[in-house]
Structure 1
């Protein structure tokens, strides 16, 4: 292995600079990356966030999402959907994709977090 290898890059250490604690399993926006908190992260503390992998996360009510569809993380609802208009803080693009189809009645969707940066709407 190369002497300059640091880690596989699937999990990063994240410092919670928000005004609220982050619960384990919550979606976290890290710059243009999306990830999932692997532990509870109190305000000001550092915790592990997975930026690669498949996680069952909240889905916007009434939205059906097909397998392989690009998804959008809606900052206001902290849930995933497809398409539609974007608002400030929403993350779209390569950061995540629907891993398995979700019906409109489902409250959760399995999302593949790619470890690639998305586009954050300003």
Structure 2
């Protein structure tokens, strides 16, 4: 039988900025197969917090209506219902086709 030791709650994780520019607070960071949101400014080479769960308001780049609970994707500019971007989570509320914002439960 395998065991694991509790490490942390996991709402946010330590993230090291491997780039050459500051990652500003609230910036969407694409990870492998998911996204996180920078909780603070993270300087190049520094470690900061990355939110990986919670409900966030995003720009809606897709043109279709999105229903609460629907899987959504980050396309580099915002949220869409079209597969092909990075999985972002699911819609936390309905968003009409004409809406420019959408609430997303990431994680």
TM-score range relative to shorter protein? 0.7 to 0.9
Quickly say closer, same or farther: Cα 1:4–1:61, change in 2 above 3 A: closer
- After superposition, where does 1:1-122 map in structure 2 within 5 Å? 4-60=5-61, 62-75=63-76, 77=77, 79-83=78-82, 86=84, 90-92=85-87, 95-114=88-107
Corresponding pairs, count: 104
Quickly say closer, same or farther: Cα 1:50–1:19, change in 2 above 3 A: same
Segments of structure 2 that go 5 or more residues without pairing to the other structure are: none
In the TM superposition, what is the alpha-carbon distance from 1:53 to its structure 2 partner? 1.0
Segments of structure 1 that go 5 or more residues without pairing to the other structure are: 115-122
**Structure number with larger C-alpha Rg:** 2
Quickly say closer, same or farther: Cα 1:58–1:20, change in 2 above 3 A: farther
In the TM superposition, what is the alpha-carbon distance from 1:109 to its structure 2 partner? 1.1
How far apart in 2 are the matches of 1:104 and 1:19? 37
In the TM superposition, what is the alpha-carbon distance from 1:45 to its structure 2 partner? 1.9
> Which structure 1 residue ranges, 4+ long, deviate > 4 Å from structure 2?
none
TM-score by length of 2: 0.81
Secondary structure of 1:48's aligned partner: strand
TM-align CA RMSD: 2.1
TM-score by length of 1: 0.73
Contact (CA 8 Å) 1:61, 1:106: kept in 2 or not?
no
In the TM superposition, what is the alpha-carbon distance from 1:103 to its structure 2 partner? 2.2
